[in-house]
């Protein structure tokens, strides 16, 4: 029986890299019934909504989606279409593996860590107040009355909210991930030394949950020190779990350690334990200037496709796809963004063909 998967091409280079991933997934031999949906700037131009209800319904009904990068039109009424997607579907866990692959230029020889980011709260909840508005004045009076401290009238205000529930489920997800994939250590990143009642709550919960997993080592790091230590010695880390904003930043740092966002996969997970619903996408943006030029790097989305196959319990095909991508890069076939001396520069389609040929099967060219 075929797996039914929402397929969202997105904007810019999205359709090209999504098509590469679609073909590669089919070339593994796994039967997939693709349910094409729209999201982003193109969807807004065609339907008047950058996040159509049909797209949300498709992901919720199918339980899984493969998605390209998307843009948020200024006139759409949304702060960010990706944040809105996560909020609507409660995709609370963002998983970004950062593993250096031979053939990709990097100053590091060995990097193999996973960033797990809380995806729904912290500073990204949307509680923002514009400078000079009555709301800021009223909020300022309330805060001054409670704390004695004054907010200046020329301040814009964003509220950071970290909950016990949100902290517990992301930390529990991180330890569950470590156990499932045979990883030995979880590191919690925070700024609890300064933000004692928000990051402090996150750290308190992390320490409490860690006691339930004695087989997995646990440590914590203040976020600025963690970033320094990641640059100094990334091999010292295994699974990182962080609140939303820090996770956003550290996942980009992790991509930088392995050669850039073009080769970094990712997935967003939701449901009661993070195993009921998932959206897979690469970590890069739309790169609209490159759209239609056949130069986009499909590696991030190809590896996201492998993550999707594992979510669908298709472990052996997922392993074959990951090995095919790795072997293609190791053979020196790369797109222009990660080329170095001795590389054979190829386009999006040619790279995908090489991956498919290494899978030992063929897929029709759409």
**pLDDT-derived band of residue 125, with 50, 70 and 90 as boundaries?**
confident
pLDDT at res. 342: 82
Q: Between the CA atoms of 227, 229, 235 and 237, what dihedral angle is there, to the nearest 10 degrees?
A: -60
**pLDDT-derived band of residue 362, with 50, 70 and 90 as boundaries?**
very low
Average pLDDT over residues 114-143: 90
In this structure, are residues 67 and 280 in contact, taking their beta carbons and an 8 Å threshold? Answer: yes
pLDDT at res. 128: 86
Average pLDDT over residues 340-355: 93
Residue 105, pLDDT > 50, answer yes
What is the overall mean pLDDT for the chain?
94
The b/e string for 141-168 (b: 16+ C-beta within 10 A; e otherwise) is eeeeeeeeeebeeeeebeebebbeebbe
User: Could you report the per-residue pLDDT of 139-195, keeping only the tens digit for each?
Assistant: 889 989 999 998 888 999 888 999 999 999 999 999 999 999 999 999 999 999 999
Residue 190 to residues 77, 158, 214, 357, Cα–Cα distance (Å): 32, 19, 21, 44
Start-end of CATH 3.40.50.2300 domains in the chain: 107-115+161-257
**pLDDT-derived band of residue 87, with 50, 70 and 90 as boundaries?**
very high
User: Could you report the per-residue pLDDT of 190-238, keeping only the tens digit for each?
Assistant: 999 999 999 999 999 999 999 999 999 999 999 999 999 999 999 999 9
Quick one: 107-115+161-257 is in which CATH superfamily?
Answer: Response regulator (3.40.50.2300)
pLDDT at res. 79: 83
Instruction: Say yes or no: domain 1-95+263-366 is CATH 3.40.50.300.
Output: no
Strands 217-222 and 185-190: parallel
User: Could you report the per-residue pLDDT of 5-64, keeping only the tens digit for each?
Assistant: 999 999 999 999 999 999 999 999 999 999 999 999 999 999 999 999 999 999 999 999
- Kindly state the tokens that stand for 37: 């949906």
Start-end of CATH 3.40.718.10 domains in the chain: 1-95+263-366
Average pLDDT over residues 315-335: 96
User: Could you report the per-residue pLDDT of 240-278, keeping only the tens digit for each?
Assistant: 999 999 999 999 999 999 999 999 999 999 998 888 999
DSSP 250-285: HHHHHHHHTT-GGG---EEEESSSS-SEEEE--SS-
Task: Choose among 204, 213, 207, 205: nearest CA to 178.
Answer: 213
**pLDDT-derived band of residue 127, with 50, 70 and 90 as boundaries?**
confident
In this structure, are residues 145 and 182 in contact, taking their beta carbons and an 8 Å threshold? Answer: no
Residue 365, pLDDT > 80, answer no
User: In this structure, what DSSP letter does residue 122 have?
Assistant: B
Task: Choose among 79, 82, 61, 62: nearest CA to 70.
Answer: 82
DSSP-based helix, strand, coil % in the chain, nearest 5:
45, 15, 40
- Kindly state the tokens that stand for 273: 């334990």
Residue 366, pLDDT > 60, answer no
pLDDT at res. 363: 44
- Kindly state the tokens that stand for 261: 């966002």
């Amino acid at each position: 029986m075929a797996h039914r998967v929402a397929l969202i091409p997105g904007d810019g280079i999205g359709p090209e890299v999504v098509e590469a991933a679609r073909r590669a997934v089919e070339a593994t031999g796994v039967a997939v019934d693709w349910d094409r949906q729209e999201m982003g700037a193109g969807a807004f131009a065609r339907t008047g909504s950058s996040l159509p209800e049909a797209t949300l319904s498709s992901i919720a009904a199918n339980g899984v989606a493969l998605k390209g990068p998307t843009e948020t039109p200024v006139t759409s009424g949304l702060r960010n279409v990706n944040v809105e997607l996560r909020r609507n579907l409660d995709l609370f866990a963002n998983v970004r593996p950062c593993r250096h692959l031979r053939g990709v230029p990097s100053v590091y020889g060995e990097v193999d860590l996973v960033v797990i980011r809380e995806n729904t709260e912290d500073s990204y909840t949307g509680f923002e107040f514009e400078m000079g508005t009555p709301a800021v004045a009223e909020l300022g009076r309330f805060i001054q009355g409670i704390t004695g401290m004054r907010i200046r009238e020329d301040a814009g205000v964003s509220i950071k909210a970290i909950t016990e529930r949100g902290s517990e489920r992301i930390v529990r997800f991180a330890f569950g991930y470590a156990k499932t994939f045979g990883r030995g250590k979880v590191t919690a990143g925070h700024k609890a030394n300064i933000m004692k009642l928000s990051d402090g709550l996150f750290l308190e919960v992390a320490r409490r949950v860690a006691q339930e997993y004695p087989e997995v080592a646990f440590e914590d790091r203040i976020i600025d020190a963690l970033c320094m230590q990641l640059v100094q010695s990334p091999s010292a880390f295994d699974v990182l779990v962080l609140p939303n904003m820090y996770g956003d930043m550290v996942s980009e740092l992790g991509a930088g350690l392995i050669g850039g966002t073009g080769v970094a996969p990712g997935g967003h997970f939701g449901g009661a334990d993070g195993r009921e619903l998932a959206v897979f996408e690469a970590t890069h943006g739309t790169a609209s200037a490159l759209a239609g030029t056949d130069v986009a790097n499909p590696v991030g989305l190809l590896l996201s496709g492998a993550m999707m196959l594992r979510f669908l319990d298709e472990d052996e095909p997922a392993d074959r796809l990951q090995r095919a991508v790795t072997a293609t890069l190791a053979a020196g076939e790369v797109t222009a963004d990660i080329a170095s001396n001795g590389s054979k520069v190829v386009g999006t389609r040619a790279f995908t063909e090489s991956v498919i040929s290494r899978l030992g099967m063929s897929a029709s060219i759409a």
